Structure 1
Amino acid sequence: MAGCGQSAPAPGTPDPSSAPAAAGSLPASVTKVLPTAYERLARSADSLDPTKGYPRSVDGGKSSWTTKPVDDWTSGFFPGELWLARDLTGDQAWTARAQRWTAPIASQIHRTDTHDLGFVVDDSFGEQVQATGQGADDVVTAARSLATRYSPKVHAIKSWDTDGEDDKRGSWRFPVIIDTAMNLELLDHASTLPGGDPAWKDIATQHALTASHTNMRPDGSIAHVAVFDPDTGAFLKRDTWQGAAPDSTWSRGQGWAIHGFAAQARAANNPELKAAAQKAADWWLAHTSPGNRVPPWDFSKPTEERDTSAAAVAASGLLDLADQVGGADGARYRQAAAETLDELATKEVAPSGPALLAHATGGKPQDSEVDVGLVYGDYYFLEAARRWTVPAAT
């Protein structure tokens, strides 16, 4: 395909004509670019070895992934993409690939030192359970591990273990970052599986409510970090690690809030969380516009690097929210998601290399992963494509 660096399909890559007819209702630009996504994804899955690392980022102009060990917070996204490709195409050739990349993640299910088990396990084993019924025990074990980080005083899951560190985070005795809202679906899903605990869904709901009161500002914008006193549960302040400043709005964090609050509103049928998701979404829509739905990495830095991963996350969350809200607001969110996906598909596809989307920003511009392809940007683009025709379901 001209402008997208598409080459001949890799062996086992489905022809786009074999995709389910429902995919035709996607924005035409997205339908057109999906074969490129499948071709690049298949080549990476077949040429790389999960025992040697999981794809994370691709610098502009480079032809290979920078990989990270399986204990990296991003390891679940690549197998998740493979499961998404299976769903989008209906081609069972993706099953073996996805299982091969999912299996090593079983080594992570007992970890109690991270809040990222949703990203790691639910996006891999969670997808596998939905697709094949296999791996439910791994999802349940991971949820049990994640639940150990919940404080009934704070009514939230502790995001980072920071005590004693020689950096800014070391003064945060109980930090809650907005990213953690994305890990709560692991608890929701596991609570309904054999051996799961129904209380896990309550933990997820309580955490989301806490974040909606503390990470969210009155105007609907999101602060990256909310800091608490673990002894009393008192909310102390808003701060930032990823954003430009404590009072700025990190764009992917705003996307996390739309996506995470919408997911928890759906899981708990909670009107307060639905209102929080709408408030975050309305702020996003007020600060982006048709033709400019891909935001800067921080909304306070409009002339600096953009973040396509933030746009993909927001688009997927907007589709979930649109399905729940319906009516004029639902149509408004769905239209914004369509505009975002169209912009990503027509302007942001990398001309070559293994990642689909270019121009993502993983961290602060002075740090790393700036103007790159990111595995989670591609993951949420494909998730949004699936959600376009298949509403999210817990």
Structure 2
Amino acid sequence: MPRLSDTMEEGVLAGWRKQVGDQVQRGEIVAEIETDKALMELEAYDDGVLEKVLVGEGETVPIGTPIALLGDGSGATAEATAPAPAAAEKPEPEPAPAVDAATDSAATPAVNGPEENGSVGTKPKASPLAKAIAREHGLELAAIAGTGPGGRIIRADIDAELAKEPQPEPQSRPQPAVEASASAPSPVADEDVEEIPLSKIRKVTAKRLTESKQQAPHFYLTSAIDVTELIEFRGNLNERLQAADGPKVSVNDLVVKACATALRANPSVNVSFAGDKLLQHKRIHLGVAVALDDGLVVPVIPDADRKSVSEIATEGREKAGRAREGKLKLDEMNGSTFSVSNLGMFGIEEFSAVINPPEAAILAVGATREEIQHRDGEFVVRKIMRVTLSADHRAVDGAVGAVFLQQLTGLLEDPIRIIA
């Protein structure tokens, strides 16, 4: 199982494109892997024949776990890695007594490779994840029938075993078995509660954002921006673009471009905190948060300051669509130096976003609302949009963030400067 993202710890083998016995060429797609961010295609590293599949479809395994064997078609690779038959039908108890090497070699057939669990044919085969869950719940692997390749015990087998009867809470030390009293009430599941397993994306989102809030001291700056001129400017721009068969530009596209322009003028915000130093990013790569049914992903628009608003609109819409289909490539979600999160389309007027590490800041954009203001001796109705900058105080000082937000406000209130 390859590491396909910087935060990936395990992957789901979503599907095999090749079957056992198929010829495989280097660079050819052999399988689909569901990572913590997207569905990725796995390319073969070498030429050969797929001799054996070690991980079935739908199975989750940690990175580094062998998932298949590639050989010359003779089957020698699969045979060399196959476990030798056990000396006895019943597995030996743990820990096994020391055995003289000569006696051991006579009693147990030789093998060319170690078992995945570290023993020589005396323990049931199980995936590392299955072993961990079994150990946590005190289950004996020898009593569980494996349904994976070659009788291997997979997570689904452990889950099925746990579903048979209520299991005790995991304990750090083994406790003596106690026979339940006949009068003791059995636990009853709450019919009003449904357990929903976390998706890969939501697991990683929860982990990364928890680490962000725990490690990065957030501070927040909010500005109320008069976007009356911006809304009118957008309407005129879209009329011109549509007349030329161009893309439709959203308010968020203009905000993204304005952020990129402000970052170019304020490079002190385009940084990352790295322990005893700051990383000053020379290029401006904007992440734009996209909400999915099972989590959040952040497609990246590289070099956003060098692109026109129409280019940002086209690229952003195309990547958001593929993000919802789970078809974004890994490099399209990595490398952002600043992010924008917009909940205005849901009517949210103001909110504070959590910084997307390793970035040092993120802008939260709210909805546009008409408000009455007093200007030049009279009351007027203006369109107001509130934005909040969340910044990592280890990397960005309050005054630096305030200057950035001040310049961003100036760009959005005088929108011709965004495209100038």
TM tier relative to shorter chain? under 0.3
Name which structure has the greater RCO, CA cutoff 8 Å, separation 6+. 1
Q: Which of the two has greater strand per residue?
A: 2
TM-score by length of 2: 0.22
Task: State the structure with more CA Rg.
Answer: 2
Could you tell me the TM-score, scaled by structure 1's length?
Answer: 0.23
Task: Please identify which structure carries the higher helix content.
Answer: 1
